[in-house]
Every structure is written in C-alpha cells, then in structure tokens.
Amino acid sequence: DSGVTQTPKHLITATGQRVTLRCSPRSGDLSVYWYQQSLDQGLQFLIQYYNGEERAKGNILERFSAQQFPDLHSELNLSSLELGDSALYFCASSVATGVTNSPLHFGNGTRLTVT
C-alpha cells in the first residue's frame, strides 16, 4: 500500500459530461502529480502541485483543471468529456523537500470510461 488514495476506482460517464477525480497524498507529502495513462502506453504528465501551488504543467488539455487544497488533497476536473479521454488517471505524491529528492508514490488510479 503506497498510502496514496484515489477515488473513485472506476468511473463510467457519457460524452460531454464533467467528472472530478480525487486524490489524498501520503501523510507528510507536499507534492501531488497527476498522470494519464491510455491502454498499453506510458505515463503522460498532466500537472504538478507543491504545497497548494501549481508548479509544472504538462500536456494538460484546457478542458482539464486541477487544484490542491490546504489539507493537501487534490482534485482533477475533466469537463466536456470525449471518448479519447478514456484512460487510467494516476495521482502520485512525494515529500520533495528540495534538499533530498524522493520517489513518487502512486495511487492505484481511477479508470475513466467515456461512452
């Protein structure tokens, strides 16, 4: 168990809808990362937060947005969903003290199916 919790585990919705994916990082971790993984593909970086502030953006669509709250949990909002948005969405967290790098700890993902 990585200590990172993602909810829901599965989500099935229709095109055009909006969904919110939730992530609780490991206790003490300040950084949260979101990744998208399509079938048999690599990890596509979406966005990174550190202690509530956005730190880096990857190939995140304008229809997608995220935030990290004061209690450090994070939400990824996906709107105007398209069939191609169907994928596994992973959240990861790390301590990231800036003094010593640390590995990312991943949740088990939310599987989004858009029909």
Partner 1 sequence: GESVGLHLPTLSVQEGDNSIINCAYSNSASDYFIWYKQESGKGPQFIIDIRSNMDKRQGQRVTVLLNKTVKHLSLQIAATQPGDSAVYFCAENYSPSGGYQKVTFGTGTKLQVIP
Q: Can you give the binding site for partner 1, defined by CB under 8 A? A: 2, 4, 30-31, 33, 35, 38, 40-45, 48, 50-51, 55-56, 58-59, 90, 92, 94, 96-98, 101-109
Q: How far is the CB of 1 from partner 1 (least distance, A)?
A: 10
**80 Rama sector, left if φ>0, alpha if ψ -120 to 50, beta otherwise:** left
Q: Which is nearer to partner 1, 49 or 81 (CB)?
A: 49
Report d(CA 43, CA 33) in Å as an integer. 11
Retrieve residue 39's tokens. 């079938």
Q: How far is the CB of 53 from partner 1 (least distance, A)?
A: 9
Q: Which is nearer to partner 1, 29 or 81 (CB)?
A: 29
Retrieve residue 100's tokens. 């010593």
Peptide bond into 70 cis (omega under 30): no
